[in-house]
Structure 1
Amino acid sequence: MITRSVRQALGMLACIAILTLNSGTVCAAEPKAADKALSADILEIANAWAHIKFEEDDLTLQQKHILALADRAAALMQKYPGRPEPVIWKGVLLSEGASMANEDHSMLTARSLAYQARDTLLEAEKMDPAALDAGAPTSLGVLYYRVPSFPIAFGDTDLARKYLEEAVRYSPNGMDANYFYGDFLYNEKDYAGARRVWQHALTIPVNSSRPVWDKARRQVIQEDLAKLAAKGN
């Protein structure tokens, strides 16, 4: 009869053998631990971003803190090589930095950060377009419809639509995918489409792990729906 301790020892030996034969293979417990650690690190960045974006008032401090957070996301890319999640967040934060620089009338900085964000998000989208509720295609879509078009930058309505439709396809219940797709449709004067997408977004369950972001998104969607109603759409 094989005792529990013997089974454990055999399991460890099997794991060592696998590692010896293939250095790219790890035991089942290790990826789970790594996934848990990555999820915790990503959640920390997501909530830090929400605090900076929605709760800080000083634009100069917001810019400083967002770019510092982008550096933290870049460090996570080194810590978790091959994972799309930190790449997505680096792209999101660079995009946010571009938006804030634009508000501060720092046009050259905004343009540079927008290009860096686009290239980073394209990399993430190739890795896994569904990761983080389709974070890469969602953010690419936002960039393509919000930045100026050529010759100033790379704005492109057709690409914006392509990526945002991809986002809601991969993440039909993603809050950001639906919010920004609705915003795009609104800007394209497809008010019925925007209303339909935003109404669906409000049915998505509350994300209690990201309370500041979740509350802010729902509030903006409700305000946008009220604007549509006031226009008779």
Structure 2
Amino acid sequence: MKTRHHLLALTLAAALGAGLSLPALALGDAARQQLDGIQARWAEVNYKLPDKQREAAFADLAQQAAQAVAAEPAAAELRIWHGIVLSTYAGAKGGLGALDLVKKAKAELEEALKLDPKALDGSAYTSLGSLYYQVPGWPLGFGDDAKAEVLLKQALAINPDGIDPNFFYGDFLLRKKRYPQAKAALEKALAAPDRAGRAAADEGRRGEIRQRLKELESRL
């Protein structure tokens, strides 16, 4: 997930109450097809579409992901991807509606963690951690760098060689001016193995990694 615009600072609504969670279930064929379609479309919208088309495309994809979750509410994988889509939709949208989308993304990712924290190699930890370091902090938002680092390290504990957990941890370290550590994490992300069926996403993510590494060159 990446955010392209700064979110406007607004006071967060009251914390969501904890509800009962359904047990995590293995994805059926229909849910797997839904997940694969959402992932593929997300990569296309996030990395291929012109900026002016991205907001509407993400709005449509968010609706599709919400419908998939409604059909399979115990599927942590679908909740993770609904959260990812909402997060990137927020970045494309900006303005007053962005923070509400981010709050909904946070709720979905937290529910995914209740269902199955290891789903999709710990991707809920990665995505939630990225939200915590990109969203404004209290009293304007829920952002918290300390929580972000804990979550990102939990993601790395589950998937130490993955492209996304290493990228987002490297990006976090870069923002915190911890440049040698950032370089190591980003280089590990760049060297991560390809993911089956995720060629477009991997290509786009590696482009982002190279941008961050280029930014680091002048700071080391």
TM range, smaller chain: 0.7 to 0.9
Match of 1:207 in 2: 195
1:227 corresponds, among 206, 215, 218, to 215
Identity value in percent: 36
Match of 2:82 in 1: 90
**1:1-233 mapped onto 2 (5 Å cutoff):** 35-59=28-52, 61-102=53-94, 106=95, 108-231=96-219, 233=220
Between stretches 179-188 and 195-204, larger displacement belongs to 195-204
Q: TM-score, normalised by structure 2?
A: 0.83
Q: Shift of the alpha carbon at 1:120? A: 1.2
Q: Shift of the alpha carbon at 1:172? A: 1.1
Amino acid across the alignment from 1:192: P
Q: How far apart, in 2, do the equivalents of 1:145 and 1:132 lie?
A: 21
Amino acid across the alignment from 2:173: L
Calculate the aligned-residue CA RMSD, in Å. Answer: 1.7
SS of the residue corresponding to residue 97 of structure 2 reads helix
Match of 1:23 in 2: none
List runs of 5+ in structure 2 lacking aligned partners. Answer: 1-24
List runs of 5+ in structure 1 lacking aligned partners. Answer: 1-30
Aligned pair count reads 196
- Higher RCO (CA < 8 A, seq sep 6+): 2
Q: TM-score, normalised by structure 1?
A: 0.78
Q: How far apart, in 2, do the equivalents of 1:37 and 1:200 lie?
A: 34
Alpha-carbon displacement from aligned partner over 1:51-93 (angstroms, at most 9, x marks no partner): 111111143x311211211121122123323110110111111
The answer to whether the 8 Å contact 1:66/1:96 transfers is: yes
Q: Shift of the alpha carbon at 1:217? A: 1.0
Q: Shift of the alpha carbon at 1:208? A: 4.8
Match of 1:12 in 2: none
Runs of 4+ off more than 3 Å? 34-37
Q: Shift of the alpha carbon at 1:192? A: 1.1
Q: How far apart, in 2, do the equivalents of 1:230 and 1:206 lie?
A: 29
Amino acid across the alignment from 1:188: K
The answer to whether the 8 Å contact 1:129/1:170 transfers is: no
Q: How far apart, in 2, do the equivalents of 1:225 and 1:111 lie?
A: 29
Q: How far apart, in 1, do the equivalents of 2:141 and 2:36 lie?
A: 31
